[in-house]
Amino acid sequence: MSDRMTLPVLPLRDAVLFPGVATPIGAGRPATLRAIEAALKQADRTVFAVAQKENIDQVTPGVLYTTGTIARISVAQSSGYPDIDRQVERMVAEAIRVCRPGGHFHVIDAILPVAPNVFKTALFRLDRGNHPRTLAHHLAVIGRAARIVEHQVLTGPLHDTAYARLTATPMT
């Protein structure tokens, strides 16, 4: 007998989820967060977890394998984006408050590798995998709180680091 199910699709980057295995999933892409939120609204909290053929942000059916795993989200921790974003914005606002007007301060944070690198991405997720952020997301968050004077990416063996120099003038 063949039963049809309609489930949220959870695309997995650089990972495969096998049946019976519990694994943490770092979710940050809007579509991934929507899939998790949709699963959490269901009584059984299930998703169709399927690996991507390519490591890209804009997922379409063509970049997903056709075989995956029906998985249950047992412990849902938010990706942290809203909470972490607010925390970063508050830290930047506090730095503005204690700096001389027009002075500068620096924000340095680990980010997902800018250049695709499976090894670095895997190590980053082990090292700081709760809230992986892209460079664009990191700059957007701090840019909402203060004016970015300059920024650069410092590459490292475990993860890349975003460095930003900000001026102590609040955004209006």
Q: Are the C-beta atoms of residues 63 and 25 closer than 8 Å to each other?
A: no
Question: 5 by DSSP, 3-state: which?
Answer: coil
- pTM of the entire structure? 0.45
In this prediction, residues 40-65 reach a mean pLDDT of 89
Residue ranges of alpha helices (H) inside the chain are: 30-41, 81-98, 118-128, 135-145
SS3 assignment, position 163 = strand
Domain boundaries along the sequence of the chain: 9-72, 81-170
Per-position b or e across 150-160, b if 16+ CB within 10 A of its CB: ebeeeeeeebb
CA distance 131 to 165: 22
Q: How confident is the model at residue 122 (pLDDT cuts 50, 70, 90)?
A: low
- The answer on pLDDT for 28 being more than 80 is no
CATH 2.102.10.10 assigned to 9-72: no
pLDDT tens sequence across 134-160: 777 777 878 877 888 888 887 776 667
Quickly count: other Cβ atoms within 10 Å of residue 128's Cβ.
17
Query: Which has the higher per-residue pLDDT, 82 or 23?
Result: 23
State the pLDDT at residue 62: 93
Short-list 66, 63, 76, CA closest to 35: 76
Q: What's the token pair of residue 4?
A: 């049809």
